[in-house]
Amino acid sequence: MIRALVQSGFRLSGTSDPRLSQGLAWAVLEGLFAAAPYPVLYLLLRDLFAGTATTASVAWQATAMVLCIALRIFAGTRSMPLIFSGAYAMMGEARLRIADHLRRLPMGWFGRQRGGDLGARLTSDLELVENLWSHFLGIFIAGLAMPAFLLGFLLWLDWRLAIAVMAMIPLALVSLWWSQRVAARPGEQFLAANAQAQSELLDYIQGIAVIRGFGRFGSAWRKLRRALDQQFDAALAVECRPAPWIALYGFILETGFALLILAGAWLLLDDTLRPDVLVLFLVLALPVYRQLYELGLSTLLLRFASRALARIENIMAQQPLPEPDAPQEPAGRDITFDQVSFTYDGETTPALVQLSCHIPAHGLTAIVGPSGAGKSTLVHLIGRLWDVDTGAIRMGGTDLRDIGTEQLHSHIGMVFQDVVLFSGSVLDNLRIGRPDASRETVIAAARRAQAHDFIMALPQGYDTQLDEGGASLSGGERQRLSIARALLKDAPVLLLDEATASVDPSAEAQIQRAIAELARGRTIIAIAHRLRSIRHADHILVVDAGRLVEQGTHDSLLALDGIYARLWRSQQQAQGWTLGPAA
**What confidence category does residue 210 fall into, taking pLDDT thresholds of 50, 70 and 90?**
low
Number of domains in the chain: 2
Which residues have CB under 8 Å from 116's CB, separation 6+? 195, 196, 197, 198, 199, 200, 201, 202, 203
Q: What digits encode the pLDDT tens for the residues 437-463?
A: 899 999 998 888 888 888 999 889 999
Confidence of residue 108 (pLDDT cuts 50, 70, 90): low
**Strand, helix or coil at 319?**
coil
Phi and psi at residue 66, in whole multiples of 5°? -60, -40
pLDDT in the model for residue 556: 92
Query: How far are the Cα atoms of 108, 211, 397, 542 from residue 355, in angstroms, in the given order?
Result: 20, 41, 17, 11
Confidence of residue 578 (pLDDT cuts 50, 70, 90): very low
Mean pLDDT of all residues in 247-263? 87
> Looking at the domain assignment, is residue 220 inside a domain?
no
Q: Is residue 374 part of a domain?
A: yes
User: Which of 136, 158, 180 corresponds to the end of one domain?
Assistant: 158
Q: Place 514 in a pLDDT band, splitting at 50, 70 and 90.
A: low
Dist CA 488 CA 445 (whole Å):
6
CATH number for the domain harbouring residue 419: 3.40.50.300
Which residue range is the domain that position 413 belongs to? 335-572
Percent residues over pLDDT 70 in the chain: 89
Give residues with Cβ within 8 angstroms of 212, minimum separation 6: none
Predicted confidence at residue 583, as pLDDT, reads 43
- Please give the share of the chain, as a percent, with pLDDT higher than 90: 15
Model pLDDT for residues 8-63, shown as the tens digit of each residue = 777 777 777 788 888 889 999 998 898 888 888 878 888 888 788 888 888 988 99
Query: For the domain that residue 13 is a member of, what is the CATH number?
Result: 1.20.1560.10
Per the prediction, the chain carries an average pLDDT of: 83
pLDDT digit string (tens) for 302-335?
A: 777 778 888 888 888 888 888 888 888 888 889 9
**Which residue in 156, 19, 26 sits closest to 83, CA to CA?**
19
Domain assignment present for 276:
no
d(CA 85, CA 89): 6
Say if residue 501's pLDDT is above 60: no
Does residue 189 sit within a domain?
Answer: no
SS3 (DSSP) at 40: helix
**Mean pLDDT confidence for 189-200:** 79
Confidence of residue 582 (pLDDT cuts 50, 70, 90): very low
The residue from 158, 174, 197 where one domain ends is: 158
Q: Is the pLDDT of residue 476 over 90?
A: no
Please give the residue that has the higher pLDDT: either 436 or 306.
Answer: 436
Confirm whether 295 is domain-assigned.
no
212-233 pLDDT, tens digit per residue, is 655 555 666 777 788 888 888 8
The mean pLDDT of 350-379, rounded to a whole number, is 90
Domain termination residue (choose one: 158, 190, 224): 158
Q: Look at residue 537 and tell me whether its pLDDT is greater than 70.
A: yes
Q: Is residue 222 part of a domain?
A: no
